[in-house]
Amino acid sequence: PWQRERDPQQRLLRRYEALLLRHGVRRDKGEGVRAFAERAAQRLPQQAQAIDAFARAFEAQRYAGQPASPEQLRELLRRLRRALPWRARPTAVADDR
């Protein structure tokens, strides 16, 4: 059954993943946030800075004990959304490995 993600950071990470998936980059099972961001930045070089900014902020909040700020993550996600092309390419995901 479908359950709503209660953790706001995880919910924003899922939105980040979904946004990048619409542009052809799928997060692999077991792939870390940093590795996913690096791979996404390679596929979407014009948006690399926005992709990396979200990943770094997420890691800092989640794993480095910095104060949680879902607002900061939301703003970084908005910036990424604006940086991506308006029309997403088809969701066919190429395995670039």
Going from N- to C-terminal start, the domains of the chain cover 8-83
Q: Which two three-digit tokens encode residue 94?
A: 């190429």
Give the predicted TM-score (pTM) of the model: 0.80
Beta-carbon contacts of residue 92 (< 8 Å; ≥ 6 apart): 24
- The closest alpha carbon to 41, from 30, 49, 33, 29, belongs to 49
| pLDDT, tens digit (0-9, with 9 covering 90-100), for 13-71 | 999 999 999 999 999 999 999 999 999 999 999 999 999 999 999 999 888 877 767 89
| pLDDT, tens digit (0-9, with 9 covering 90-100), for 77-87 | 999 999 988 76
